Amino acid sequence: MAADSLSRHLADRKTPWPHFNQYLVAYLSYLLFYPVPWLLGYHRPTLAGVLFSTAAMLVFLLVYFAPYRKDRYYGYGEIILTDLIGYACAWTHGDWEVYCIFAAGMCARLPGKRQSITMVILLQVVLIISGHFRHKTTLEVIPGAFFSIITYMGTLVQWQLGIRNFELREAQNEIRTLATTAERERIARDLHDLLGHSLTVISVKAELADRLFTSDAPRARQEVAEISQIARTSLREVREAVAGMNGASLQRELDRARKALNTAGITLVLNGPGPSADQPQNSVLALALREAVTNVIRHSDARTCTLTFQQNAEGHIHTFTLEDDGPLQAPQPAHSIVEGNGLRGMRARLAASGGTLTLSPQPQGFKLTATTLP
């Protein structure tokens, strides 16, 4: 962003004044030059001159700190008033040109670079012309104009650096906010997938164990033991998810899917080769498979699920398709599907890894395809 447009951009919001406290006070050291002609004996100060100079200095300080107190840029009125304070103090024979230097420095803090350059040039033209009317030679006028330009350039550089630092701090704060939000969303997605799947399986197994207690007690006790194991595993995975250590693997999720679907009375048919332990693991696809299986158990009346994996030449599995034969009450177009938290979280997680999620209602069931970058 160009300096001119950047300054205008910042003019509509909070300025970087808080980062200029030390410079704001340091520039006031120029006022120490005002009584130098008196101290060196070039001119003898009068009581009226001292009182007038003191009053003028107080007015200047009010003007000087006004934008800082209100957190805004300098205006033309404040610059012109500062310049006029200098000319009004000329009769006191102090070094009144310090106010012209202050006015030039203020020009660097106008909200537009073009306006600030134009203003500082006009101030120097006025200074040179006033020197002619005061019967000053060129050599007597040039130092004031020279130091005004130098002060303007130095202040402009500091101000622009301050603006860049101000923008950088704001960008860093925004990045921290976005990172915090992204981490919260990640934890929410992981917890939904972990707990949604585990609680669904626990619910199905608990219902099965309840039915088996009277007819097959050993099998019922086995189901209860598996419920306990699933609960312990879920607790460990929740802790890992909160800590950011997601260790999901396709092979483990495939084993879980087969057991969970079997408990729910759904047969899993693996179409083609599945993942193996020596293949590179894709945790994003693993979590997507977990959520897809959970949805089949909770929301369909399917009896059979067909799972197909696709892999590239290096053996990386990058896509899976899960089809169930659960009947739909009425055919639905894909764009009319209302996605819950699980599907939205799955889609966001796949998108973050460059993948896609495709939902396809079928005449006799539902088809879900999850893809990551090969």
Q: Measured between alpha carbons, how far is 107 from 204 in angstroms, rounded to an integer?
A: 75
CATH 3.30.565.10 occupies which residues in the chain? 250-374
Report the pLDDT averaged over residues 17-41.
74
Please tell me the CATH superfamily of domain 250-374, with its number: Histidine kinase-like ATPase, C-terminal domain (3.30.565.10)
Confidence of residue 244 (pLDDT cuts 50, 70, 90): low
Confidence of residue 68 (pLDDT cuts 50, 70, 90): confident
Report the pLDDT averaged over residues 23-35.
78
Q: Are 343 and 366 in contact (CB under 8 A)?
A: no
pLDDT for the residue 320: 93
Q: Around 221, how many Cα atoms within 13 Å sit in the side-chain half-sphere? A: 2
Q: Which has more pLDDT, 200 or 278? A: 200
Place of tokens 């160009």: 2
pLDDT higher than threshold 70 for residue 242:
no
Q: Which has more pLDDT, 345 or 281? A: 345
pTM (two decimals): 0.46
Report the pLDDT averaged over residues 304-319.
88
Confidence of residue 91 (pLDDT cuts 50, 70, 90): confident
Phi, psi of 308 (to 5 degrees): -125, 130
pLDDT higher than threshold 70 for residue 277:
no
Phi, psi of 252 (to 5 degrees): -65, -40
> What sections of 244-299 are H helices per DSSP?
250-263, 283-299
pLDDT higher than threshold 80 for residue 9:
no
- If one counts every other C-beta atom within 10 angstroms of the C-beta of residue 56, the result is 20
Q: Around 179, how many Cα atoms within 13 Å sit in the side-chain half-sphere? A: 6
> CB under 8 Å to 110, separation ≥6 — which residues?
7, 73, 74, 75, 76, 79, 116, 119
**How many helices (H) does the chain have, and how many strands (E)?**
12, 5
Q: Of the given ranges (238-242, 289-293, 369-373), which has the lowest mean pLDDT?
A: 238-242
pLDDT for the residue 16: 53
pLDDT digits (tens, 9 = 90+) for 93-115: 877 888 888 899 888 888 777 88
pLDDT for the residue 55: 93
Confidence of residue 206 (pLDDT cuts 50, 70, 90): confident
Report the pLDDT averaged over residues 197-201.
79
Q: Measured between alpha carbons, how far is 99 from 329 in angstroms, rounded to an integer?
A: 84
Q: Measured between alpha carbons, how far is 277 from 297 in angstroms, rounded to an integer?
A: 26
Q: Which has more pLDDT, 161 or 323? A: 323
Q: Are 147 and 124 in contact (CB under 8 A)?
A: no
Q: What is the mean pLDDT of the chain?
A: 80
Per cent of the chain over pLDDT 90 is 8
Confidence of residue 198 (pLDDT cuts 50, 70, 90): confident
Report the pLDDT averaged over residues 120-126.
88
pLDDT for the residue 336: 55
